[in-house]
Amino acid sequence: MNSYQLFRRSRIRLALWYTLVMGGILGLSGFGVYRSLIQSNWTAMEREMESIAGTLHDSLEPMLPQSGDLTGILQQIFPDLCRQGQPCNHNPTLIQRHTIGISDRSTYYIRVFNYRGELLAFSPNHPLPLPQTLNPTTWQTFRSSRGTRYHQFTTILHSGKLNSQTAVQSNSSWGYIQIGRTLATFDAEVNRIRWILGLGFPLALTLVAVAGWWLSGLAMQPIYESYRQQQQFTANAAHELRSPLATLLATIEAIVRVPPSNPQQMQTMLQTLERQGRRLSHLIADLLFLSTLEHQSSSQVFEPCCLNDLIDDLTEEYAEFSTLADINLRQEVPAEDIYVLGHESQLYRLVSNLIANAIQYTPKAGDVVVSLRVRDRTAWMTVQDTGIGIDPAEQTRIFERFYRVDSDRSRQTGGTGLGLAMAQAIAYHHHGSITVKSELGQGSCFILELPGVIKPKTRLP
């Protein structure tokens, strides 16, 4: 399986897991909202029915008789109700409809029972068939023969004119009243919510899947880039190691064939072996050093480092080299010593690489200037040359491992292409940064920023 297929499968898995998790969260959230809406509507409906029943009870209580024939009383109290065993008046007046407090006769119905549970009166629109005897359960839900659901509330009717000698008083209630309503509107609302959730959830899940695919691509991009760089590094490292190894093997093979009578040729080949061996050793040491810096595994403790002395030592060390190359190397440092916390050997290696590169890529009679200044407790060190410059397209790659602007010239001078990569790693290890400004034919300027400057000390003459 190639790397493209591997990363594509990983992206698909990541997108699927994201969609699955988000789908589960959306599903649970939608179900919670659905149950909450249904429960709130159901509770509001029951409160409304209890309120209507309470209003009817308070209105009827003073008018309820103590005993005797109830027919006339029911005719007066419920003008639009059908009394049990008598014809119904289906066209009550507006005043009669509001007498008992319910104007929506298409939704609600009323049934009245005496204390023995016998049906006395009922609304003409009550669902059929309903039992003629009382079921004292407070709340009931049932379905009519036409399939319409109803919800019913039953409460006790107390009389305000009770006599202690009457049967009604002995049973502690005058009778019962039932308030019922159709659930057609409630069920329609429930179905509407189900349709919204049923259509909305797949749409939301589709959007989540699309977003998951896009986000997984964003998440995989740095991993893929790191993998690509690792592949490039492996190929470059193999190429760098292959050249000296091939030279070593060829030299060893030649040594084996050289007769013992030719010590001069033997000496030359042994020197070649030593040179290539040292090159391999330096390359491996640089790679190990980079790995140590990138994993922040250095065991050394930061100590105060004087940048003035560091620049003095390096300009003195490269003075002969710059003279041989006909390069004017000079420094511009302040009179006060500038100290930062760090590893002196690593900082020495960093600045050494910058100065060596500046001299190497500057033509004869050129200038290399190393300067130092402090601003806002940050040390700014620059290495500026008048060399060949760097193409803008290559400035973003010069800090990559084994990358060379001029490969042939670097190999001839013994470079491995790790100098600037190590410089950047050292700068990051010291919580600093290194940048470059360059123009072709105008030279380059490498800028090193190191934060955390310690209080300067006066430099002795």
- Domain end call among 161, 190, 219: 190
Do 181 and 307 lie in one domain? The reply is: no
Q: Name the domain count of the chain.
A: 2
The more confident residue out of 461 and 385 is 385
Do 166 and 314 lie in one domain? The reply is: no
Q: What is the mean pLDDT of residues 214-243?
A: 76
Q: Is residue 439 part of a domain?
A: yes
**Tens-digit pLDDT profile for residues 245-288:** 777 778 777 777 767 666 777 777 777 777 777 777 777 777 77
- Which pLDDT score, from 0 to 100, does residue 453 have? 82
Do 178 and 308 lie in one domain? The reply is: no
- For residues 36 and 100, what is the distance between their CA atoms, to the nearest angstrom? 33
Q: What is the mean pLDDT of residues 229-248?
A: 70
Q: Is residue 221 part of a domain?
A: no
Task: Write the CATH number for 103.
Answer: 3.30.450
Exposure string over 85-123, b if 16+ CB within 10 A, otherwise e: eeeebeebeeeeeebbebeeeeebbbbbbbbeeebbbbb
- Which pLDDT score, from 0 to 100, does residue 37 have? 92
Residue 205, burial from CB neighbour count under 10 angstroms (0-12, 13-18, 19+)? middle
Domain holding 431, by residue range, is 303-457
pLDDT band at 176 (very low <50, low <70, confident <90, very high): confident
* pLDDT exceeds 60 at position 102: no
- For residues 259 and 266, what is the distance between their CA atoms, to the nearest angstrom? 9
The more confident residue out of 197 and 455 is 197
**Averaged pLDDT score across all residues of the chain:** 79
- Which pLDDT score, from 0 to 100, does residue 162 have? 46
pLDDT band at 96 (very low <50, low <70, confident <90, very high): very low
- Which pLDDT score, from 0 to 100, does residue 247 have? 74
- Which pLDDT score, from 0 to 100, does residue 65 have? 66
Do 170 and 308 lie in one domain? The reply is: no
Q: Is residue 94 part of a domain?
A: yes
Do 173 and 322 lie in one domain? The reply is: no
Q: Is residue 275 part of a domain?
A: no
Q: Is residue 28 part of a domain?
A: yes
pLDDT band at 456 (very low <50, low <70, confident <90, very high): low
- Which pLDDT score, from 0 to 100, does residue 383 have? 93
Q: Would you say 348 and 309 are in contact if contact means Cβ atoms under 8 Å apart?
A: no
Type and span of the H or E element at 366: none
The more confident residue out of 306 and 2 is 306
pLDDT band at 78 (very low <50, low <70, confident <90, very high): low
- For residues 17 and 272, what is the distance between their CA atoms, to the nearest angstrom? 58
- Domain end call among 190, 213, 228: 190
Q: Is residue 248 part of a domain?
A: no
Residues 6+ apart with CB under 8 A from 108: 52, 102, 123, 179, 180, 181
Torsion of CA 411, 412, 414, 418, to 10 degrees: -30
Radius of gyration of the chain (CA): 48
**Tens-digit pLDDT profile for residues 335-345:** 888 899 888 88
- Which pLDDT score, from 0 to 100, does residue 368 have? 93
Do 325 and 180 lie in one domain? The reply is: no
- Which pLDDT score, from 0 to 100, does residue 302 have? 81
Q: Would you say 451 and 377 are in contact if contact means Cβ atoms under 8 Å apart?
A: yes
Please give the C-alpha separations between residue 218 and each of 287, 301, 403, in angstroms, as whole numbers: 30, 38, 27
Do 32 and 181 lie in one domain? The reply is: yes
**Tens-digit pLDDT profile for residues 104-145:** 567 888 888 888 888 888 887 777 778 888 888 999 998 888
Q: Is residue 380 part of a domain?
A: yes
Please count the other Cβ atoms lying within 10 Å of the Cβ belonging to residue 351: 24
Q: Give me the residues paired with residue 447 across strands.
A: 382, 435
Task: Write the CATH number for 451.
Answer: 3.30.565.10
Please give the C-alpha separations between residue 122 and each of 53, 85, 132, in angstroms, as whole numbers: 14, 11, 10
- Domain end call among 190, 212, 240: 190
Q: Is residue 427 part of a domain?
A: yes
Q: What's the token pair of residue 66? A: 């103590």
- Which pLDDT score, from 0 to 100, does residue 73 have? 64
SS3 per-residue string spanning 269-333: HHHHHHHHHHHHHHHHHHHHHHHHHHCCCCCCCCEEEEHHHHHHHHHHHCHHHHHHCCCEEEEEC
Q: Would you say 21 and 123 are in contact if contact means Cβ atoms under 8 Å apart?
A: no
136: nearest Cα among 156, 121, 119: 156
Q: What is the pTM of this model?
A: 0.53
Percent of the chain with pLDDT over 70: 78
Do 325 and 446 lie in one domain? The reply is: yes
End-to-end CA distance of the chain: 68
